[in-house]
A and B are shown apart, each in its own frame.
Chain A
Amino acid sequence: MNLRIAALLTSFFGFFVMVGTPAYASKSVTYTFGVVPQFDARHTHRVWRPLLTELEQRTGLKFRLVGSSSIPNFESQFLAGEFDFAYMNPYHVLKASMSQSYVPLVRDIGRSLYGVVVVRKDSPIRDMKELANKLVAFPSPNALGASLIPRADLKYIYGVSVEPLYVQSHSSVYLNVAMGKVDAGGGVQKTFDQQPRSVRDKLQIIYETRRSAPHPIAAHSNVSPAVRLSVQQALLALGKTAKGRDLLQLIPIKQIGVASMEDYRPLGEWGLQEFYKSKD
């Protein structure tokens, strides 16, 4: 039983162990592929490894999945140009373009990215303006849909400021709200839908934020245009097969299409930078 406790501890406090050597300098036939750690390492591997294998078959290239122990780590990694290819959030694309210039290749063109703000159903708060100086839970400072965009909207659209409480995860946000620990919380539609009914039934969405293009798969500008093109074409071709669509669905990419830097340009003008917390 103590062993099981230890296993629990390991799974919740241990580091995500997926250490690879930075591959950028080598420029070998094997390309490194980074994935933003939204989920735990095992989930990431389970989703991405079959897709990369399929991609290898279609392109003749080799891909190595490079793990990151946390989102801040991932950020410093792509800012250092450690990934040849990466799946990142749209704000990351903007940030990266400042130093390393990652080129978006494909993205989900069937959905858009936006945040939600929830309160307890029995809460008197029904409007964003009522959140002035209230305690609001967010997963982490740099969470795009759940934190950066809602906070930007609160300030620049509604002109109110709130007391933020970072509670590590989306679920934690919803629980804190549901159990009355905070007055409201920021999340995204998808994670809200994933909450158990017991939690969801206690919550009410009072606001949806402005919308952006979702996560792209981007290539480092150092990767040759021919390789970039072949990977983009292969991914698009994948979207035309049933098997490929199933693989993409897990990422999740509902409908794959070409992504361009233009898709993410508006995001840069929403004033997110004020709320972004760079790694020390």
Chain B
Amino acid sequence: MGIRGKLLLPLLALVIIIIGSVEYYWGPKFVEQAKTQHLAQQKIQLGVLEIALVEPMLNSNLAQIHLILDNVIAEYPEWIQLELRTPDHHRLYPIDELSDVAGSEHMFRHTHLVEYLDSALGTIDLTVDVSGFIKGVEHQLLVLEYLLLLLLSLVAGASTILQERFVRHPMRRLAHAASRIAKGDFDVKLPKPSNDEVGQLIIAFGDMCKMRNSAEIALEEMAYSDVLTRLPNRAMLKNYLTKMLANARRAERTVSVLFIDLDRFKVVNDTLGHDTGDKLLTDAAERISSCIRTGDLVARLGGDEFTLVLDEQNDYRSSRVVAERIVNVMEKPFIIGNHRLVISPSIGISLYPKHATDYGSMMQCADTAMYRAKELGGNRYEYYSTEMSDKLSRHMRIEVGLRRAIAEEEFVLYYQPKVELVSGKIIGVEALIRWMDPEQGMIPPDDFIPLAEETGLIIPIGEWVLRKACEQHAEWGACDIELAINLSANHLSDSNLLDTLRTTLRETGFAPHLLELEITENAIMQNVQQTITILEQIKTLGVKVAIDDFGTGYSSLSYLNRYAIDTIKIDRSFIMDLPQNTDALAITSATIAMAQNLKRRVVAEGVETIEQATILAELGCEMGQGYYYRKPMPASEFAAILSSTRYLPNDQELHAGQG
């Protein structure tokens, strides 16, 4: 039941109560009272009549008596019979004897004595019929009831109209607005608030909507903008670009996407800290934003990557102009704290509809073009072209494959023994990774390790190698064989390296003094101070460290002493020229001598002939490694060698060689 019903119901009850009480209680009571009053009034009238009759009665003036009474009877229709008699019952009025009248319930009889100076002159007998009077009173009551009903109907009508106007209509609109808001549509029009309780409700409702609305907007902003730069984020970019492309399709316009990566930003972030990095990003974001027109979009996708969406003219000029402008504004150094930082952008540009037609491909094309710009040295922009895609797709395939390889354990370890040159005894083994791609077969490390380093995948790969090698080593049961594992430069800057080592050693039960980590000379020289620290920490675990490929880099010999290094591995490029190349011989000889002075062990890589092995042994090199002894081999094969003999080349081979 609505408000109207609820309000009308008591009104209806009131009507019933009023009508009922008037009809059955007040009405009869009122009629009875009126009748009593009326009869009392007739007694008064009889009193007045008595006074008028005294003198004519004293004078026996019958004519006068008759005149008075005739007039009175004519005056009062209710007085249907009046008789005046003397005390001795002689009739004075009327002339003729009265006939009986039919009785009715509203017939009454008054008897009134006419007196003069304490003596009775006569008696008036009056018969009245008040049915007319009562009918009149009842009629009045009926009219009153009708008036009451009419009044109540008017009140009900007016109340309904007023309710409709001031309560129900605004309430319905409010309810409608509320249901729309419940469906998430905040753009609703509220009724104009009146100066009453309903108005207060409307105002309160409006306030609530505003609060809700601003809360929604704030949430939307958070969801769609980048916290650091307040620029739109990837989600909003996707939304926007998708719409732009749809519009462009309809309006046959063109759109360009600019993918910006800041060259060398990572270095700043790593060396000067995140605060400086963040400041640099916000400043860069400001500069980039200053290069575009209103209506174009700048978004930050995370890291140092920015994306621009431009509404293009058909000649693709906008993208060129904006890209040039960005390159220009970035030339000026960024002053952050005490640092003057020079950052250059690499910009890749994709065009709709020339290069791609959907969000994903537009982004991929711009990304590809950006990589190309980076390859070309950065601080430039490149438009996408299909050949970039061909080149990159192999790159991409490997990256995707690497991730799968980690997950699916497509890697295998090959082992190459290290041999004591004097005795030919196997004293160590180097674990080397191989990738058995199910489709492409064996992929050499040179083809995927640089990519793994670039993508950071080298870290999980390195962990896998360490763990796998330790496990396999345990299976061989040759507990005094040293195990060598390669680390890349990435590993040295991995803060988790020590934890990983510790955990793996503990979990596999591997003896730390049997483990040797091989690090290339180039990796070691990249960050001297950091490397020194890391190597010392590794030493505390009891793990050995070797410099790999020694002689290829530009290491200062003086540094060698400062590094906690156990072993120097002379690069194969020197060994393979032995013994004919004298320069190689001199370098090899000097290196071995220096290592001996510094009390470092020396391993010669790439030993392929017995002559090389003999010379190296004569020069004082302790160990050798190479095809002369064995190529890298699967774990099972190496296990087989270990189980038969620990000397290489084995008897068979020696015999063959001698033979």
Contact = CB atoms under 8 A, between A and B. Distances in A.
Contacts of A178: 95
Interface string A128-166: 000000000100000000000000000000000000011
A236 to B, nearest CB: 36
A169 B61 contact: yes
B13 interface: no
B95 A8 contact: no
A176 B55 contact: no
Nearest to A12: B64
B96 interface: yes
B117 interface: no
Interface string A157-200: 00000000111111110111011110000000000000000110
A168 B51 CA distance: 18
A1 B78 CA distance: 13
State the majority secondary structure of interface residues on A: helix
Contact of A12 (B45, B48, B67, B95): B67
B344 to A, nearest CB: 123
A175 B62 contact: yes
A1 B63 contact: no
A178 B56 CA distance: 17
B525 interface: no
Contacts of A169: 61, 63-64
Nearest to A198: B95
Contacts of A8: 52, 68, 71-72
Contact of A175 (B59, B66, B75): B66
Nearest to B44: A2
Contacts of A172: 56, 59-64
A2 B67 CA distance: 17
Contacts of B55: 13
Given A12-B52, A165-B60, A181-B60, A5 B90 contact: no
A226 interface: no
Given A12-B64, A12-B67, A179-B92, A168 B56 contact: yes
A4 interface: yes
Nearest to B75: A4
B49 interface: yes
Given A172-B61, A181-B90, A199-B95, A1 B51 contact: no
Contacts of A25: none
B90 A1 contact: no
Contacts of A175: 62-63, 66, 95
What is the interface residue range for chain A against chain B? Answer: 20 to 34
A192 to B, nearest CB: 13
Interface centre among B60, B68, B76, B90, by most chain A C-beta atoms within 10 angstroms, is: B60
B49 A5 contact: yes
- Output the residue of B51, B56, B60, B62 with the most chain A CB within 10 A: B62
A155 to B, nearest CB: 23
A98 interface: no
A242 interface: no
A9 interface: yes
B91 interface: yes
A9 B55 CA distance: 11
Contacts of B71: 8
Nearest to B67: A12
Interface string A1-20: 11011001100110000000
Given A4-B75, A5-B48, A198-B96, A168 B90 contact: no
Interface in A58-96: none
A199 B70 CA distance: 14
B60 to A, nearest CB: 5
B60 A1 contact: no
A178 B62 CA distance: 10
22 contacts: A2-B48, A8-B52, A8-B71, A8-B72, A12-B56, A167-B61, A167-B63, A168-B59, A168-B60, A168-B63, A169-B61, A170-B63, A172-B56, A172-B59, A172-B60, A172-B62, A172-B63, A175-B66, A175-B95, A176-B62, A179-B95, A198-B96
Interface of A: 1-2, 4-5, 8-9, 12-13, 137, 165-172, 174-176, 178-181, 198-199, 202
Given A5-B52, A12-B56, A175-B95, 9 more contacts: A2-B48, A137-B60, A167-B59, A167-B62, A169-B63, A175-B63, A175-B66, A181-B90, A202-B95
